[in-house]
Structure formats: C-alpha cells, structure tokens
Structure 1
Amino acid sequence: MKKILFIVSLFLLVACSNNEVKYDGAPLKIAVVGDIPELHNEKIHFKPISLDEFSEDTLTISTNFDAVMITPVMFEEASEDRFVKVYKDSKMPIIFFDSRKRNLPFTNEGLTYETAHWESLNNGSHTTIYISDIDANREDAWYFYLKDEKELDILYKEIFQKIETL
C-alpha cells in the first residue's frame, strides 16, 4: 500500500510541477534563438535555431514556423546591427521574450541591448512581438505585461493567441 501511495504522490508531484499553458488555439511551431521555454502544451512546438540560421535562411524559417522567439541569453548578440535588416525583412512575428527594452535595440542600428538606455525604453512590458513587412510598408509591435511570475502561463497563452492571429 505504501508503494502505491508513493507512486501516486510522485506522479501527482510531477504532474503539478509541469509548466502547462492552457492554450487551445491552432497548433504553432516556434523557432527559438536561446533557451527553450520549459512549458507544456501539445499544440506548441519549439525548435532551437541559431541567429545565423535565422539570418541566412529567413525564407525557410518563415515557411516552416509561425514565429521566432529570441530569449534573454541571446539579446546582446541579437541586437547587433547586422541583424536589423533580418528583423525588418522577415515578414513573420518575432517574439523578444522578457525584453524590458521592447524591440528597439534589435530594430534600430547603433543600439545594442547593453548600451540602449533602459529607462527611456521601458514601458513596463515583459515581452514584445514585432512584425515588419517592408513591401506592405508595415511595422507593428504588441506588448505583453507580466504582473506576477506566477502568471507566466497566462502571458504565454496571450502571446500564442496573438501569434495565431498574425
């Protein structure tokens, strides 16, 4: 009996520790530059890619994925001027996850994530989705806010819902 209780409690502990996101929209494939998010949802599929992969083959990336997510471990390199044109020409949503400086250090030459003045760029948002289509003369950004780290699953759900509509 003790073994059964132990196994059941171990199963419940593992099940409760999953970072499950309650997103029930269309399946999404997201390329990730940086750390893969530790969350679980059968409709969300992440695949790691490098910045060079993204910049060298944006057509393939945009054909095979619904969005590209860039995480904080890659912000300094991702904000180098050589990638500005990549972001502006990509025509697909780019998620700058946990960027207090929004998309600005990434989409403006002469700024890096480190050198951009945080105070002037901070609008209180946690994450920004940026999309640009030079042919359509379109450039948009959507901001997502996180009040409490316990609500990270809600933040992800909102991001995925927005990606689904773009």
Structure 2
Amino acid sequence: MRRFIILITLLFICTSCSQEANFDSPVYSGSKLKIGIVGDKPKIREKNISFIQLSMEDILRKKFKNLDSVFITKSYLKEAAKPQYAKIYLQSPIPFIFIESEKVYLAFIDDQLSYEDAHTIKSGDYLVGFYKDTYFGLGLHNNIKNEKTIQDCYSRLFVILERFKNTGKIIIN
C-alpha cells in the first residue's frame, strides 16, 4: 500500500511538471524588429529581432528614434527611474520596456518618485511596458520563471511591438 501511494504521488508530480513544460508557446514570426537594449541581451528564440546596445547616456541623448522599442534590463532599473528620464519616457515616440521590474511603471514616469519608494508590483508582470499614456505588463506562464516561460513572454511582447510598429498603438490581445 505504501509503495502504491508513493507511485501515485510520483506520477502526479511528473504529470504536473510535464503539463507546465508543454504549454503552447508560438515563436514570433512577424516582421523584423530593431530593439535598443540597456544591459545584456535576453536569450530569445527569434531570428528576426536585432538588438542595438545602448547606454543610459544614449537614452538621455534620445539616440533611439530609429528603433522599434527600447528594453532596460533589471540591473539598470534604479538608474532608469531617476528624475531626468521621466520626461523622455513620457514623450518617447516608441515604447520602453522595463525587464523584471519589482516596481510599478510610475517609478519611471513620475519624476517625484524614486525606484525605492514606488509601489511593488503585485501583478507578477515580468515585462513592464510604457508608451505615451499606456502601461502594459506581461507575466510568465503560471508565474514560473524558467527559460521557456521567459522566451514565451518575449515572443508575446514582439507581437505587441509589431502591432505598434504597424499602427502606432499598443494593442494587447
């Protein structure tokens, strides 16, 4: 009886794990996107995405106008939330994406609010985007952080960025 219970428990665990790993995660196959990145490039599955390395100084100098979006990685978020950048994000002709932010988007667009003082994200969003007056967030599948769920999150983001490139609007389905 004891072996039977152990066997059933192991089967349940294996089944649960395989269901998590087998979710539908289409790879973005749309038009080419050119993305500026402050920090390390993410590991993505797509071949039609090119990353252009930027610094926070480049952001201040607005050297991102020929790009489809700018990503700012976790290690630069505190600097990205400094007051001198808020107006740049608010007036940007392209969306800014803040990767793995623990704070709400207001940390970046409110020049009176520091990263440390901003509210913590409760939604579980992995990617936080902002364009003009539109905020959007994308979470990981079942809030599980692994290579597949992160790559899936980026693939969904690329669809949003392609729609933006074609329409000038943030459209999330």
- Normalised by the length of structure 2, the TM-score is 0.72
Unaligned segments of structure 1, at least 5 residues: 1-20, 133-138
- Measure how far apart 1:94 and its partner are: 0.6
Provide closer, same or farther for how the CA distance between residues 102 and 117 of structure 1 changes in structure 2, counting only shifts above 3 A: closer
Aligned amino acid, residue 126 of structure 1: Y
Residue 91 (structure 1) aligns with? 93
C-alpha distance after superposition, 1:68-99 (max 9, x if no partner)? 00111001111000110110111211111111
- Give the secondary-structure state (helix, strand or coil) at the position aligned to 2:134: strand
Unaligned segments of structure 2, at least 5 residues: 1-25, 165-173
Runs of 4+ aligned structure 1 residues displaced above 3 Å come to none
- Give 1 or 2 for the bigger CA radius of gyration: 2
Residue 33 (structure 1) aligns with? 38
Provide closer, same or farther for how the CA distance between residues 102 and 116 of structure 1 changes in structure 2, counting only shifts above 3 A: closer
**Structure 2 CA distance for aligned equivalents of residues 115 and 52 of structure 1:** 24
- Normalised by the length of structure 1, the TM-score is 0.75
Residue 159 (structure 2) aligns with? 161
Structure 2 counterpart of 1:61, from 44, 61, 64: 64
Is 1:144 aligned to residue 146 of structure 2?
no
C-alpha distance after superposition, 1:123-166 (max 9, x if no partner)? 2222111101xxxxxx1011101121231111011111101111
Aligned amino acid, residue 145 of structure 2: E
- The answer on whether the counterparts of 2:43 and 2:151 sit within 8 Å (CA) in structure 1 is no
**Structure 2 CA distance for aligned equivalents of residues 49 and 131 of structure 1:** 19
Question: What is the identity percentage for the equivalent residue pairs of Structure 1 and Structure 2?
Answer: 29
CA RMSD of aligned residues (A): 1.6
Instruction: Say how many residue pairs are matched.
Output: 135
- The answer on whether the counterparts of 1:96 and 1:102 sit within 8 Å (CA) in structure 2 is no
